[in-house]
Amino acid sequence: MSNISSTSVLSPSVPSNQGFGLYLVVGCIVAVLGFALPFMGLPKNLLSLLTSASISAILATSVGFLVRQAGLSSFGHAAFFGGAAYAVALLVNYTSLPSEVVILATPLLIMVLSGIISLILLRTNGIAFSMLSLAMAQAIYELVMKWRDLANGEDGLRIRFAREIFGVKLSFFQKADTMFLTTWTALVVMVVIVVLVSRSNFGTLTIAIKNNEERARFLGYRTLWPRIVVLMLSAFIAAVGGTLFSMYNGYVTPSLLHWTLSGEALIIAIIGGTRSVWAPAVGAFVFVILRDVAGNYTTHWQSIVGLVLIAVVLALPNGLGGALTSFANRLGGRKNG
């Protein structure tokens, strides 16, 4: 008898249906609490931090979703995140398209482009995929750095948004207390989307393909297209994050396309854990707050983040999300499934 049970944060499993109702209730409470935060009189710098954390959470959700549903660790998601931010900047600055159209269309544009790129990326798996995605993102980074006439190189671009977007003043999207509501709403919607997808028949198929692609093919399924759709959805979510970033900051720089941002998103996903679709978002809030607190004490805050990462990998192989799930299951008197 052999029990083949992987517990790595990078080899997630499908959560059982048991207890989904509990997760739903807790999720709704957390979502509502989030919407109440700007009205609780929190300091502006804390709200600013939470707004940044929400945007990071969206990016981490996209990376975690790709790991969970396709078993792919991307080192190139900065291309989708930063690519969206730059697309907004370039389209707003150099075309006559209304800002609203640009903001709504950019994630879809990035999603379509990711579908084309995925035809190459998804010919590979594992390390090869990670390296290819890294190469793709770095190529875009270099393009932006070198093409000064278009993207102003390392100095970046200020985005010349219209004074009003969607009928409200631009400042609504650039002040933390009001923008947080937008980023939080987007995060909640993105998490709901990945929950629905992961629990659908399509989600089951993608997990099956991730587990055993050849067997899925022998059952009669096409295996490339579902993987492409997962990557496209993941890219779409990352692009939503990038679009929100561009709105909030009104400025883009090449660092948004650098591989370190992709690495950071993957680290956040590992800290949060990828067994549950919501866990990378939890990881993002912990990461951003930890980075801020550590940054107040030392300029070498990366060392502290590194130590936390080591501690999480060693002590919580399923990440913070896995630990929370185990705790909730213990409270409910059930064995962790």
Of the candidate residues 21, 40, 214, 315, the single one contacting another protein (CB under 8 A): 214
Q: Return the axis-axis angle of helices 319-331 and 279-297, rounded to nearest 10°.
A: 120
Question: For another protein, which is the closer residue by CB, 210 or 291?
Answer: 210
Provide, rounded to whole angstroms, the least separation between the CB of residue 72 and another protein.
15
Which range in 39-47, 100-108, 166-174, 220-228 contacts another protein by CB under 8 A? 220-228
Rg (CA), the chain: 20
Nearer to another protein, 122 or 216 (CB): 216
Question: Pick from 100, 115, 197, 221: which binds another protein (CB under 8 A)?
Answer: 221
Out of 14, 22, 26, 42, name the contact with another protein by CB under 8 A: 14
Asked whether 27 and 278 are in contact (CB, 8 A), the reply is: yes
Q: What would the two tokens of residue 216 be? A: 């899925």
| In the complex, minimum distance from the CB of residue 210 to another protein, in angstroms, rounded to a whole number | 8
242's tokens: 């990038």
Other C-beta atoms within 10 Å of 40: how many?
8
Q: Does 217 bind another protein (CB under 8 A)?
A: yes
Query: In the complex, what is the shortest distance from the CB of residue 276 to another protein, in angstroms, rounded to a whole number?
Result: 13
CB of 322 to another protein, least distance (A): 14
The three-class DSSP label of residue 275 is coil
CA 325/CA 305 separation, integer angstroms: 23
Q: How far apart are CA 172 and CA 153, in angstroms?
A: 29
Identify which range of 6-14, 113-121, 231-239, 296-304 contacts another protein by CB under 8 A.
6-14
C-beta separation of 275 from 318 below 8 A:
yes
To the nearest whole angstrom, how small is the minimum distance from the Cβ of residue 67 to another protein?
A: 13
Least separation in angstroms between residue 17's CB and another protein is 8
In this complex, which beta carbon is closest to another protein, that of residue 96 or of residue 201?
201
Near another protein by CB under 8 A: residue from 158, 222, 300, 334: 222
Q: Does 219 engage in binding with another protein (CB under 8 A)?
A: yes
Q: Is 202 one of the binding residues for another protein (CB under 8 A)?
A: no
As a whole number of angstroms, the distance between CA 267 and CA 259 comes to 12
Which residue(s) pair with 164 in the sheet? 169
Which residues between 16 and 35 bind another protein (CB under 8 A)? 16
Task: Give the shortest CB-326-to-another protein separation in angstroms.
Answer: 16
CA 244 to mean position of chain CA atoms:
12
Q: How many CB atoms lie within 10 A of CB 133?
A: 27
Distance CA 260, CA 48 (A): 22
Whether 291 and 281 have beta carbons less than 8 Å apart is answered as no
Please state, in angstroms and as integers, the Cα–Cα distance from residue 120 to each residue in 77, 116, 228, 326, following that order. 15, 8, 10, 39
By the rule CB under 8 A, 215 interacts with another protein: yes
| Residue 126 sits in the site that holds another protein (CB under 8 A) | no
Rounded Cα gap, residues 178 and 195, in angstroms: 26
Task: Please state the closest distance from residue 3 (CB atom) to another protein, in A.
Answer: 7
Please, what is the minimum distance in Å from the beta carbon of residue 36 to another protein? 36
Please select the residue that binds another protein; options are 211, 255, 302, 303, rule is CB under 8 A. Answer: 211
Under the binding rule (CB under 8 A), the answer on residue 207 touching another protein is yes
What is the crossing angle of helices 78-94 and 99-121, to 10°? 140
Under the criterion CB under 8 A, does residue 273 sit at the interface with another protein?
no
Structure tokens at 248: 């909030």
Of residues 254 and 319, the one with the C-beta less far from another protein: 319
Length of the chain: 337
Binding site for another protein (CB under 8 A): 1-6, 12-14, 16, 201, 204-205, 207-208, 210-212, 214-222, 337
